[in-house]
Chain A
């Protein structure tokens, strides 16, 4: 079955540590996205990529980094510079010409204490 996987589902880290969230898709989509969701707020775009080896900052990129070395993979690193890293992180993918139809992974709940 085609889809997007994110791992792990829950992640706990100490403040000051970098952490990398995994996102893999086998839908053959060129575009991939990272969002964070906080209570009472809509999904906010962190980074997106339309093609391998290229990515753009979204609205809240500070304290995050990404790479896109393979079409199927778009890992997100939450660095110690991110002031409020505790959140629900969602990865999505889409065809480049159908960006409104995004397929989401199950998400990773990151808790930093």
Chain B
């Protein structure tokens, strides 16, 4: 099983819609996760962190489900500018404390 797995999409949604994507992880001991956003042909940028209590930032909500080993990202009232690839990121399980494992990303396309 991959350390981090995401549905590649694409998720095509109309403006104003609510959309959610999940990401499954294999290391049950992981305490924290992260969502990065990557625009087409650009570099990734940290969007938000996810801990046991979840995280909300405006229209974005990230939650962690330890029992089922997945994290989710919910985007409310989608904007055209939300169109991007969303990367799920977890700490490495290899023992190195400063390595991250990036998922392959979920592509979101918000349609006018």
Contacts and interface: CB of A to CB of B under 8 A. Distances in A.
Nearest to B43: A104
A16 B97 CA distance: 35
A42 interface: yes
Contact-size category for A:
20 to 34
Contacts of B89: 100
B91 A42 contact: no
B89 to A, nearest CB: 7
A43 B102 contact: yes
A105 interface: yes
Contacts of B103: 42
Contact of B46 (A42, A48, A101): A101
A40 interface: yes
A107 B43 contact: yes
A31 B43 CA distance: 18
A90 B38 CA distance: 12
Contacts of B98: 31, 48, 50, 94, 96, 99
10 contacts: A41-B104, A42-B4, A42-B87, A44-B102, A48-B99, A96-B98, A100-B32, A100-B34, A100-B89, A102-B100
